[in-house]
Structure 1
Amino acid sequence: MGRGKPMRKRFWRLRSNPLRRRDDIVEGWVVAAVWTVAVVGGTTVGLVAAHATEATLDQQRAQRHPVNAVLVADVPKPTVGKWSSGDKTLAKVRWTTPDGSSRTDRTLVDTGLKSGTHLVVWQDGRGTLVTEPPSATEAAVEGAVMGGFAGMSLVGGVYAVGALARWRLDQRRMAGWDREWDLIGPKWGHRTG
């Protein structure tokens, strides 16, 4: 068995063959297009999504700033129950915004803290409380995950379209065989059934 034989089998739809139908040629091109779009498009979409995610998270890191806040009231330790994690709860804190005004709002803090405890909270440029932005490493991981999901979504969609096209070609081939059998079958003599 030579090395060229498996390659010939793989691309049989594109070779000259007396039994080859137009649908076989179309199916060969559909398979080639699906693979090309899946590999090139999936990679491209994945990289673009990863870079966009990282850029958004980098922008959050640039726009959000830590600020010192003071706990307004005691935060009791909850009784640990079936539905309680017991480590964080919403509590009221007070901080100063970039324009110098004092604000009060609720944020997640550790339980068991006393009123007057100093905390670090994060705010945006308008002085609104926001969550802490992800670190550069966390942003890179999140970008990779989002890029992977985006790329795989495109590949899944392309594969589904290709499978639908091939299914439709199979239906056309079956209908053609039925028509041909209706023409040739009676010439063979007695039919059973």
Structure 2
Amino acid sequence: MAFRGSKVWLWRWRRNPLRRRADKVEAWVVLGAWLLTALAGVFAGLATSRSVEGTLARERVEWRQVEARLVAKAPGTFAGQTGTASSDQVWAKVRWAAPDGSSHTGQVRVRPGSATGTPVSVWTDAEGRLVTRPTTPAQAHLRAALIGALVGASAAIVPFVGGRTLCARLERRRIDQWDADWARFGQQRGRTAG
């Protein structure tokens, strides 16, 4: 096991006769990669979060709850339970009027055995198409934050991996230079490397 001395922070930035040009280049590459990683992650995350939150806010404004009616009796029989779990519901065809007055039909979940003409609340977009219930402001904020964090982390990976790849290439080049220098030193001393 090799002994390693104490780690000297920022050694590539200090004056040192053993510091090579490659060390200075690597120091700048590491600094640039970290800065790009932080900036890309933060800006991409914030931009995505704002975009998602804006879209969800627009949905809350544009989407409307309307009353639809069952077109036919819903399949199954209602057992008298008051639960509203989706497992207690069946798919049935309903009809509703869009804001422009046109009639639309679609499939929604209702209680089993509901009679024809039973009113059902559904959510529609500006064109009258069925949509899910819009998110609340708290749900929208949480969703936007999670998506923003995921996109920010994904965007930060690109410059981070690029910097690590460039540092690995610099390290390989430095090792090749050391090999060449040792081979030259061995020839000067009358020995061959190998």
**TM-score for both structures, normalised by structure 2:** 0.83
1-structure distance, mates of 2:101, 2:177: 80
Q: Judging changes above 3 Å, is the alpha-carbon distance between structure 1 residues 87 and 178 closer, same or farther for their aligned structure 2 residues?
A: farther
User: Any stretches of 5+ residues in structure 2 without a counterpart?
Assistant: 1-5, 78-85
- Secondary structure in structure 2 of the residue aligned to 1:98: coil
Question: Shift in Å at residue 188 of structure 1?
Answer: 3.6
1-structure distance, mates of 2:193, 2:167: 32
Q: Which residue of the partner structure matches residue 43 of structure 1?
A: 42
CA contact (8 A) 2:183 2:193 kept: no
User: Any stretches of 5+ residues in structure 1 without a counterpart?
Assistant: 1-5, 79-84
Q: Which residue of the partner structure matches residue 57 of structure 2?
A: 58
The code of the aligned residue for 2:38 comes to V
Q: Which residue of the partner structure matches residue 136 of structure 1?
A: 137
Q: Which residue of the partner structure matches residue 157 of structure 2?
A: 156
**TM-score for both structures, normalised by structure 1:** 0.83
Question: Shift in Å at residue 192 of structure 1?
Answer: 8.1
CA contact (8 A) 1:77 1:86 kept: no
CA contact (8 A) 2:69 2:120 kept: yes
Q: Which residue of the partner structure matches residue 31 of structure 1?
A: 30
Question: Shift in Å at residue 72 of structure 1?
Answer: 1.6
Q: Which residue of the partner structure matches residue 110 of structure 2?
A: 110
- Secondary structure in structure 2 of the residue aligned to 1:40: helix
Question: Shift in Å at residue 104 of structure 1?
Answer: 1.9
- Secondary structure in structure 1 of the residue aligned to 2:39: helix
Question: Percent identity between the aligned chains?
Answer: 38
Question: Shift in Å at residue 48 of structure 1?
Answer: 1.3
Question: Shift in Å at residue 19 of structure 1?
Answer: 1.1
Q: What's the C-alpha RMSD, in Å, of the aligned pairs? A: 2.2
1-structure distance, mates of 2:33, 2:193: 42
Question: For each residue in 1:82-104, what CA deviation from the matched residue of structure 2 results, as whole angstroms up to 9, or x when unmatched?
Answer: xxx73444321011111223322
Q: Which residue of the partner structure matches residue 22 of structure 1?
A: 21
Question: Shift in Å at residue 67 of structure 1?
Answer: 0.3
Higher mean displacement: 167-176 or 14-23: 14-23
Question: Shift in Å at residue 159 of structure 1?
Answer: 1.2
Question: Shift in Å at residue 74 of structure 1?
Answer: 2.6
The code of the aligned residue for 1:22 comes to R
- Equivalent residues, number: 180
4+ residue stretches of structure 1 with deviation over 4 A? Answer: 189-193
